[in-house]
Amino acid sequence: MTRRLFWDDMYAREFDARVVTVEGNRIVLDQTAFNPRGGGLVSDTGTIGTSRVPEVVKEGEDIFHVVEAPAEFGPGKTVHGVLDWDRRFRIMRMHTSAHILSSVVNRETGALITGNQISPDESRVDFNLENFDRDKMSYYIDRVNEAVQRELEVKTYFMKREEALANPGFVKLANAMPPSLDMLRIVEIGDVDTQADGGVHVRNTREIGKVVGLKTENKGKSNRRLYFTVQ
Ligand SMILES: [Zn+2]
């Protein structure tokens, strides 16, 4: 299992690690600050040694770094990784915003998230909703910004799986959680949202800045998509 340094410190931008395996152009390290693609988040990018890392994926508990110069690496070698921090920090701001947005829409309508895509420039969240338009979008985004401006602290901690599952609000995307894990990581955004979540967030909602609704789309009879960004 790759040790996830971003679970201890979501603000770690650089790290040292040891190469465990090299499979073609994919390397596994003993630990990493790169958050892999998953849970609706695009992967981090950056460099390991002098090689670009355009993509990072997870398979089970292992994290595979795609590298452009695999010849540079061999098992046992110590390497230095550096994240593309501007991109990662936008992902963190977008991700925390998406949690607040889903909580606001859930509270106002009872709708649940059916999908999401968190990217640095533009993110989207899908809801199982029948009625949605620009006015409603503006209303929900205003509620999100009210929460953001309250400068809520974002806490992360681990909880026993059974304990987390006993609280239905905690696991809105239960199938996204690997069944092998005994402990689930919980992300708590003030009094607004508490979720089992493996992804990266800001420490305080003040770092989000301003959330801006971009557009809405109908994606089927009762599926509505909302695009947003952060400024
Ligand atoms: Zn999340």
CA of residue 17 to ligand 1 center, whole Å? 26
Residues around ligand 1, an ion, CB closer than 5 A: 197, 199
d(CA 200, CA 88) in angstroms, rounded, equals 9
d(CA 92, CA 94) in angstroms, rounded, equals 5
pTM score, whole prediction: 0.94
CA of residue 229 to ligand 1 center, whole Å? 16
**More reliable by pLDDT, 51 or 130:** 51
CA of residue 99 to ligand 1 center, whole Å? 6
Give the tens place of pLDDT for each residue, 9-33.
999 999 999 999 999 999 999 999 9
Retrieve residue 11's tokens. Answer: 């603000």
**pLDDT confidence of residue 172:** 62
d(CA 124, CA 135) in angstroms, rounded, equals 17
CA of residue 26 to ligand 1 center, whole Å? 26
* Beta-carbon contacts of residue 113 (< 8 Å; ≥ 6 apart): 102, 125, 126, 127, 172, 173
**pLDDT confidence of residue 196:** 87
CA of residue 200 to ligand 1 center, whole Å? 8
CA of residue 95 to ligand 1 center, whole Å? 6
**Which of these, 212, 158, 203, lies nearest to 185 by C-alpha position?**
158
For 202, counting Cβ atoms within 10 Å of its Cβ (0-12 exposed, 13-18 middle, 19+ buried), the class is buried
Give the tens place of pLDDT for each residue, 79-128.
999 999 999 999 999 999 999 999 999 999 988 888 999 999 999 999 99
Q: What is the sign, positive or negative, of the torsion defined by CA atoms of 15, 19, 20, 25?
A: positive
* Beta-carbon contacts of residue 24 (< 8 Å; ≥ 6 apart): 70
Give the tens place of pLDDT for each residue, 122-144.
999 999 988 888 899 999 999 99
85: how many CB neighbours lie within 10 A of its CB?
13
CA of residue 199 to ligand 1 center, whole Å? 6
CA of residue 43 to ligand 1 center, whole Å? 13
Q: Cα angle vertex 58, ends 56, 60, to 5°?
A: 165
**Which of these, 157, 155, 151, 143, lies nearest to 189 by C-alpha position?**
155
CA of residue 172 to ligand 1 center, whole Å? 10
Confidence band, pLDDT 50/70/90 cuts, at residue 174: very low
pLDDT at 199 over 80: yes
